[in-house]
Amino acid sequence: MSQFYLANRNGATLSHHLSWSHYVELLKIDNTTERAFYMNQAVNANWSVRELKRQKETGLFLRLAASKDKEEVIALSQQNTLVAKPEDINRDSYVFEFLNLPERNHYSEKDLEIALCEHLEHFLLELGKGFTFVGRQYRITLNNSHYKVDLVFYHRILRCFVLIDLKINDVKHQDISQMNVYMGYFSAEENIEGDNPPIGIILNKDKDELLVKYATYGMDKNLFVQKYQLYLPNTPRSGSDIIRAARVIKK
């Protein structure tokens, strides 16, 4: 109770949307910026206590902060929305520990796709606010040739389709070109009035930064190549470690 009072002397800042159990979890976070971030997101996304704990354990704050500067992270901690532009759904990595896949060396892309669809609610929470599921193995046809997008979502805030391809190995330049084709097709054939250009995300376990840099040169800025991991990362908890790991302070 003493910690609660010291952290919330201005009672007007408290939200009636959060339970006492939520605040107990939030008080475990020493860094005030990180704590404010999780509090705002818990309110905005209506997280249960269990989901709040999971997002903390998977280092959501760190993964988002890794690609943003200090001012942006501080701004995010003080507002109730994360999504205003396509880059806002981008994060350093996605964590799919909720799949509970046993540790082994090899999975097929189909195995991963099936597992994600079987845990769709958790997958949507990991993707972030605004995602709605459209379908899997979404078929498109070009000149009598058939292609299938692994997973298709629609983002109700950004008002655009989000196309996801899953890769279990290193992403190749042809994978990026293929996603670019999918995005072009959706823009021309699937979008209706009011829709924004689609976003393409290629999820893979290992990301060759140099290859991605050159393979995406001159391509649509809404095409992202991101990493995923199947197990919880070991995330730092002290304030100094958080800032260091997030790389949000620039000298």
pLDDT tens column, 125-134: 888 888 999 9
Distance from C-alpha of 84 to C-alpha of 56, rounded to nearest angstrom: 23
Crossing angle (nearest 10°) for helices 20-27 and 49-57: 20
For the entire predicted model, the pTM comes to: 0.71
- The residue count of the chain comes to 251
**What is residue 164's three-state secondary structure?**
strand
Amino acid 182: pLDDT: 96
| CA of residue 54 relative to chain centroid, distance | 14
Distance from C-alpha of 238 to C-alpha of 245, rounded to nearest angstrom: 10
User: 30 with 238: CB under 8 angstroms?
Assistant: yes
Q: Write out pLDDT tens, residues 191-236.
A: 999 999 999 999 988 788 888 888 888 888 899 999 888 876 654 4
Distance from C-alpha of 85 to C-alpha of 219, rounded to nearest angstrom: 18
- In this structure, what DSSP letter does residue 197 have? P
Written out in words, the top-level CATH class of the domain with range 97-229 is alpha beta
User: 235 with 59: CB under 8 angstroms?
Assistant: yes
Q: Write out pLDDT tens, residues 34-80.
A: 888 888 888 887 888 888 888 888 888 887 777 666 666 666 666 55
Those residues whose C-beta lies under 8 Å from the C-beta of residue 127, and which sit 6 or more positions away, are 89, 94, 153
Distance from C-alpha of 18 to C-alpha of 4, rounded to nearest angstrom: 13
Give residue 250's pLDDT band: very low, low, confident or very high (50, 70, 90): very low
Distance from C-alpha of 124 to C-alpha of 151, rounded to nearest angstrom: 12
Q: Write out pLDDT tens, residues 144-203.
A: 889 999 999 999 999 999 999 999 888 888 999 999 999 999 999 999 999 999 999 999
Give residue 14's pLDDT band: very low, low, confident or very high (50, 70, 90): low
Amino acid 248: pLDDT: 40
The dihedral built from the CA positions of residue 141, 226, 104 and 112, taken in this order, carries a sign that is negative
Residues of the chain with CATH 3.40.1350.10: 97-229
